[in-house]
């Protein structure tokens, strides 16, 4: 993973920190951006590059929910289903995403490999229920009726 241009990018990141271990989160982002998820082998690569133990890397990966520990679809769809959003219809938004993406259940990837839908705790946009995060983009005030349009706009 960390060869050529990726190594140069990692070296730029490492220059910002007093210790290599401090660059763990950005290194994991680099890995996930390149491969779509963080595998056991990927964790070992990060550990070697940062001169830390694979167990430490795994502890961080399993703590943070933003790192995918298995392959996900091209579009990773996170629907907020905490109480304020549920009151505003989040469960119906989840059902609409599952129906329109072809995902059979939460956490599964659609047959075409394009979508993975999950529920998450608070996306921090309670005033715009129901918020949805698709990859790194936020969509606010999502309703079941707006799901087909949102999916059609993905590129």
Binding positions for [2Fe-2S] cluster are 80, 85, 122, 126
Quote the CA–CA distance of 106 and 91 in Å, as a whole number.
12
Give residues with Cβ within 8 angstroms of 116, minimum separation 6. 72, 73, 75, 76, 77, 103, 107, 108, 109, 110
Nearest to 90 by CA among 49, 118, 59: 118
Phi, psi of 76 (to 5 degrees): -95, 110
- Give binding residues as ranges: 80, 85, 122, 126
Question: Does the bond joining 143 to the residue before it have cis omega, within 30 degrees of 0?
Answer: no
Radius of gyration from C-alpha coordinates of the chain: 18
**Tokens representing residue 144 in the block:** 């079941």
């Amino acid at each position: 993973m960390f060869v050529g241009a990726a190594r140069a990018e990692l070296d730029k990141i490492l220059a910002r920190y007093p210790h290599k271990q401090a660059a763990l989160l950005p290194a994991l982002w680099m890995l996930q951006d390149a491969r779509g998820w963080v595998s056991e082998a990927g964790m070992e690569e990060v550990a070697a590059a940062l001169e830390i133990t694979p167990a430490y890397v795994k502890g961080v990966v399993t703590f943070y929910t933003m790192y995918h520990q298995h392959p996900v679809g091209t579009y990773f769809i996170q629907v907020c289903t905490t109480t304020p959003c549920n009151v505003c219809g989040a469960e119906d938004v989840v059902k609409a995403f599952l129906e329109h993406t072809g995902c059979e259940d939460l956490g599964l990837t659609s047959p075409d490999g394009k979508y993975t839908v999950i529920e998450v705790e608070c996306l921090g946009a309670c005033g715009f229920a129901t918020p949805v995060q698709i990859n790194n983009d936020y969509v606010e005030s999502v309703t079941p009726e707006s799901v087909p349009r949102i999916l059609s706009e993905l590129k």
